[in-house]
Amino acid sequence: MKRINVLIVDDDEGDRKLIRRLLSKSNFDATVYEACCTEESFALNLPEIDAIFLDYLMPGETGLGHLKTYKSNWPRAAIFFMTGQGDEDLAKTSIKFGATDYITKHAINERAIRRMMRNGLAQVEAQWRIDEQRRDLATFSEVLVHDFKAPIRAAAYLAEQIEEDITSGDMAAAIDALRLLRVSATQMQDMIQSLADHVRLDRDVTLSEATASDLCQRALLALAHEIAVSRARVETDFSQTDAPFLCHPPQLVQVLQNLVANAIKYCGDKDPDIRISARFDDGGKLAFEVVDKGMGVPKDQLDRIFEPFKRGPGTRELSGTGLGLATCRKIISRHGGTIWCNSEQGQGATFGFLIPAASTDPCTHAET
């Protein structure tokens, strides 16, 4: 069972202890955080929270008034609203404002906690996936409406040009226009493929064992042509990562392939020089790094380059859809990890990601 993080916000210490005790008896591997009021809970330096038990009435405030803030701070958390008195209107209002479930304090027991946690976590995860699919559909429509206009116009123009050239007997011009038409078709094909990769990550989540070295070799094999043409120098170091771990290999290969391809693409005016390494950290997580000596990323762009359609300044003339790094972030998030970039413009870049090297399903946010 995946370890989860639970936050209890209640001014009654006895109620907090009760919920903590019931959680420990309910077969949930939970790390529990406590706060006596909303202000204290927001001041805590907390990790990602999976479940929140929120008291309705506290001195000088109500938990209901802060539901939106809790949803904003921890959007993937199930929020269980608690009150000392049963009130159907309050229950409806709390659900309307974003609570996952509602319970009166006299009804809190081990069975109720187990049911709420099991159903609530599953409900929030299902809703998160629905919302993510909606965002993906919005991404899809944005690409179709915006990014496809230019290559479609180019293809239509080139088709007319070919027709005119053939009619006039200028076969050399027709052949040249046909070559450009193929380039435009390839651009649209690449755009569709990158979009499909970004949207369809949920369809295959079968886990299998792999090693860091094997994942890297598969990525480099897929990029053999690009590496040869660019005369890239690729150095690898997996001396500290011999042990296999459970993951979804095709998706992690895709991440490495994207990162190495970017290092080749954004090498600047010199041959690409790339170093790929991996190691297990003290917490048992697997850390990958892809280091290059290319164009680098401006500091003010580091937080944005993993967003869909965001590309660095000075890269307009280079091919790409702006979805590669967004897809990488999505894959690493599905594996329960994080991805980042450290760089300075003109000084190369280091892309790293950290994933749990465990046997639990990384594509499920919470197991019950």
**pLDDT score for 187:** 63
> What number is the average pLDDT over the span 107-124?
92
The mean-pLDDT minimum among 25-34, 58-67, 171-180, 271-280 falls in 58-67
The mean-pLDDT minimum among 89-93, 116-120, 280-284, 358-362 falls in 358-362
**pLDDT score for 142:** 64
**pLDDT score for 50:** 93
The mean-pLDDT minimum among 148-157, 249-258, 268-277 falls in 148-157
Mean confidence (pLDDT) of the chain = 82
Question: Higher model confidence: residue 129 or residue 49?
Answer: 49
- pTM (global) more than 0.85: no
**pLDDT tens column, 229-244:** 899 999 999 987 778 8
Q: List phi, psi (to 5°) of 209.
A: -80, 145
> What number is the average pLDDT over the span 28-41?
92
**pLDDT score for 32:** 94
E strand residue ranges, 176-283 = 208-210, 233-240, 245-247, 273-280
**pLDDT score for 284:** 77
**pLDDT score for 339:** 94
**pLDDT score for 2:** 66
Question: Higher model confidence: residue 285 or residue 203?
Answer: 285
Give, for 36, the enclosing helix (H) or strand (E). none
End-to-end, the C-alpha distance of the chain in Å comes to 7
**pLDDT tens column, 302-356:** 878 888 755 555 544 444 456 778 888 888 988 889 999 998 888 899 999 999 8
Which residue in this structure is represented by tokens 């099991």? 118
The mean-pLDDT minimum among 11-20, 49-58, 205-214 falls in 205-214
Which residue in this structure is represented by tokens 């809790």? 70
| Single-letter residue type at 304 | R
Q: Compute CA 237 distance to the chain's CA centroid, rounded to the nearest angstrom.
A: 26
| 4-129: CATH class | alpha beta
**pLDDT score for 336:** 84
The CA–CA distances, whole Å, from 258 to 5, 62, 184 equal: 32, 48, 22
**pLDDT score for 141:** 67
Sheet containing strand 51-55, strands side by side:
30-35, 4-9, 51-55, 78-83, 101-104
Say if residues 284 and 356 touch (Cβ distance below 8 Å). Answer: yes
pLDDT reading at 193 higher than 80: no
Q: Compute CA 263 distance to the chain's CA centroid, rounded to the nearest angstrom.
A: 20
**pLDDT tens column, 140-177:** 666 566 556 666 777 888 888 899 999 999 999 999 88
**pLDDT score for 168:** 93
Say if residues 70 and 55 touch (Cβ distance below 8 Å). Answer: no
**pLDDT tens column, 64-81:** 888 889 988 998 899 998
> What number is the average pLDDT over the span 276-302?
88
**pLDDT score for 277:** 95
Of the candidate CATH numbers 3.40.50.620, 3.30.565.10, 3.40.50.970, 1.20.140.10, the domain formed by 203-356 belongs to 3.30.565.10
